[in-house]
Amino acid sequence: MDAEAEAAKEKEKEMREWCVALPKVELHAHLNGSVRDSTLLELAKQLSDKGLIVFEDVKGVIMKNGRSLQECFRLFELYHILTTDHDTVARITKEVVEDFAAENVVYLEIRTTPKNNEAKGMTKRSYMNAVIKGLKTVEAVEVMLFDSNLRTDKTLTSTPMSELGGDTRKKKIYVRLLLSIDRRETTLAALDTVNLAMELKDQGVIGIDLSGNPVVGEWETYLPALEHAKELGIPITIHCGEVANRKEIQAVLDFCPQRLGHVCCLNDDEWKKLKSSMIPVEICLTSNVMTGGAPSLELHHFADLYNAKHPVSLCTDDSGLFSTSLSNEYYLVASTFGLGKAELFQLAQDAVEFVFAGDEVKKSLREVFKRAEKELK
Ligand code: 6MZ
């Protein structure tokens, strides 16, 4: 390797490490899309030993790189076969939190679709109990799940960044849950999910998401549940424009949720409307490029929104499925769009203002960034 290539490699390594050290806020992470490959393979092996699947076939699918949007949704069906029992749901939740905390995510909103599964004796409620149980079993880091944590928590704000980034036992992470309505669901099932969110609001559940295969279902089916959530004062985020469904994109923008995910396939009028709305956008670079929502990293709409000073927050979407991490998404923004450390820091810090958690959490997070600024900017 010549000296120039060597220097470039060193620079990349230094920048990647900096992106890991940066405190980060993750607002768009689907639980089942964020499962480690190693865990999926282990689960697949167990099912294969029971003769329920053919391990080699499943391994090929899990380890494949590059997937179309429709392949992703077929893969989720496989993931759900592997993960949908109470113990496994608790396990993957624990691991996902540990993985985000390990790369200095200080606030994490995990979204997941509560599932009924009669064969496993699972109801939406028992599924969520398993998720919450998983959060409570995290040992590697301290999980701040309830607002009651706040009264006693002086640690997150008083721990120096060097320690937040170093000894994992000292790490703290705020975790909140969003309940996803799957586009395959009926109006009644979607209403059940909203009511469950309300029931679990003291257990870390703070919002509603609409997601699922964007070519399936009709906006009118979910609207009553979303309206209900709005009436109850539950914050809402909606997957918008993963495909060019003009009617639905208009309806979503008119609905005015607290946040939007993706916003890939908007036309000029919709862009104007989005920008004047100032609704924060959860940007998922790798996901959008892999599934074809954006033609390339260079041509991703992040640049347009960022230059227009539209509120945006970098997110992973499905870190397991797309083999990415939040630190990697920050690195991609630096390497693709030329943002420097000060700009990346600002981007990470700005995301604090878009969290669904209340003012006390925001206040703590602002402190975390204030402390980190001295070391990282
Ligand atoms: C839309 C997505 C998604 O809920 O089982 N999901 N929905 N667009 C995407 N972009 C690629 N990625 C994930 O996590 C998996 C579920 O999240 C939604 C899908 O409904 C998927 O089944 P949970 O934890």
Query: What does the alpha-carbon distance between residue 172 and residue 107 come to, in Å, rounded to a whole number?
Result: 9
Say how many Å lie between the CA of residue 163 and the centre of ligand 1: 34
Ligand 1 atom with minimal separation from the 30 CA: 14
ipTM exceeding cut-off 0.85 for this assembly: yes
CA 77 – ligand 1 centroid, Å:
10
Please, which pLDDT band fits residue 168 given cuts at 50, 70 and 90?
very low
Pocket, ligand 1, Cβ cutoff 6 A? 30-33, 72, 76, 112-113, 180, 182, 211-212, 239, 242, 287, 291, 317-318
Q: Could you tell me where the beta strands, DSSP code E, fall in the chain?
A: 24-30, 105-112, 142-144, 172-182, 205-211, 236-240, 259-262, 281-283, 312-314
pLDDT in tens, 59-117: 887 877 767 888 888 889 988 998 889 999 999 999 999 999 999 999 999 999 999 99
Asked if 131 and 31 touch (Cβ cutoff 8 Å), the reply is yes
Tell which wins on pLDDT, 14 or 62: 14
242 noted as active-site residue: yes
Of 30, 97, 131, which is best to mutate to test ligand 1, by the most ligand atoms within 8 angstroms of its C-beta?
30
Query: Rounded to whole angstroms, how far apart are CA atoms 232 and 30?
Result: 23
What does the alpha-carbon distance between residue 325 and residue 346 come to, in Å, rounded to a whole number? 19
Residue 67 CA to ligand 1 center (angstroms) comes to 14
Catalytic residue among 242, 248, 282, 329: 242
- Ligand 1: residue of 74, 135, 211 to mutate (most ligand atoms within 8 A of CB) is 211
Each residue of 255-271: pLDDT tens digit?
999 999 999 999 999 99
Mean pLDDT of 223-235: 98
